Amino acid sequence: MKTTRRNALSALSAISGWAALGLPLQANAQVPEPVFGTPGKDSGWIPTPNGMVEAMLEMALVTPADLVCDLGSGDGRIPLLAAKRYGARGLGIEYNGDLVKYSDSVAQKEGLADRVKFLQGDIFATDFTQATVVTLFMPPDFNRKIRPMLLAMKPGTRVVAFNFGMDDWQPDDSVYVDAQRGMLWRVPAAVGGDWRLAFDQAAFQKVAQPTLLHIEQKFQKVTGHVVLGGERLVLWDLRYDVDRLRFAVIHQGQRLDFDGRVSGTGLEGSMVAGGQPVSHWKAARSA
Ligand SMILES: C[S@@+](CC[C@H](N)C(=O)[O-])C[C@H]1O[C@@H](n2cnc3c(N)ncnc32)[C@H](O)[C@@H]1O
């Protein structure tokens, strides 16, 4: 990984920041301190500065309900801090065995070993699908390669990366510490394609049949139209948040507001006209 002098300096100051967080500088006399640039597989070891680690975990709203997995966990600081500060469970996947030993020794010394585990291995051969928060500080090529695996995770999983983004998958949020950037993505549910809508309000069903909902999806961004009673109507005020889809259409001069969620392989929600609930609706994918 190429690092600027500024990154390396922040990272160095981050190492000395361990003591301020109550984590030891010398985890265990038998386990040597990791050395900057220690080789890994897809990158060597350069740590995320501790101030940034905190800011990223805050941005991801980590709670005790989370399993925070750091892909390429280096000296273990991210899963360890997630457990120590936020009560989460932590998982680190790290290729370099010495870094795993060092991380384990800190977990032992800090009394966190029951909640934080480190696995030695290749990220691409290790199952991390149970994680609710995934963190990483890896080069752009790695991010491009891991992206399909992240997008296949449970909708709502938070992905937090330091410094390098996810190509054309734009972040949902960012945080800056010392002019360096941490980014957050929420894994969106797959909603793109054609859906056949059915309303449970008989009168509306009759007017609107057949009803097609067409959605174009690019990551968290969606556009689309519905066909209601033979009329093609553009979706207005379209908002998509992880698995919640909201939009409005103007149908026969009346504004109809739809609010639904992707649930399993279906989509369902409510429809409001002029502020009054009109109908529950469901949608299944068109064959
Ligand atoms: C830039 S460091 C980031 C360390 C840590 N995530 C942090 O932010 O402080 C990247 C780490 O990933 C590890 N690594 C690189 N490729 C890997 C792979 N394919 N599988 C597991 N670990 C890997 C390296 O050994 C290194 O410790």
Structure confidence by residue, pLDDT tens digits, 195-239:
999 888 765 665 556 689 999 999 999 999 999 888 899 999 999
Distance from Cα 45 to the centre of ligand 1, integer Å: 6
Using a 6 Å CB cutoff, which residues line ligand 1?
1, 40-43, 45-48, 70, 72-74, 77-78, 93-96, 99, 122-123, 137-138, 162
Return the pLDDT at 16. Answer: 30
**Ligand 1, atom nearest to 122 Cα:** 20
* Top-confidence residue, 164 or 26: 164
- The pLDDT tens digits of the residues spanning 44-99 come to 999 999 999 999 999 999 999 999 999 999 999 999 999 999 999 999 999 999 99
Return the pLDDT at 200. Answer: 83
Report the Cα–Cα distance between both ends of the chain, in Å, rounded: 46
Q: Whose CA is nearest to atom 26 of ligand 1?
A: 45
Cα–Cα distance between 229 and 232 in angstroms, integer? 9
**Mind listing the domains of the chain with CATH numbers?**
5-186 (3.40.50.150), 193-285 (2.40.128.120)
Cα–Cα distance between 280 and 168 in angstroms, integer? 36
Distance from Cα 15 to the centre of ligand 1, integer Å: 16
Kindly report the average pLDDT of the chain as a whole number.
Answer: 88
Distance from Cα 93 to the centre of ligand 1, integer Å: 8
How many C-beta neighbours within 10 Å does residue 198 have?
Answer: 17
Q: Full-prediction pTM beyond 0.85?
A: yes
Q: Whose CA is nearest to atom 11 of ligand 1?
A: 72
Distance from Cα 73 to the centre of ligand 1, integer Å: 5
Q: Whose CA is nearest to atom 23 of ligand 1?
A: 72
Cα–Cα distance between 102 and 250 in angstroms, integer? 61
Distance from Cα 70 to the centre of ligand 1, integer Å: 8
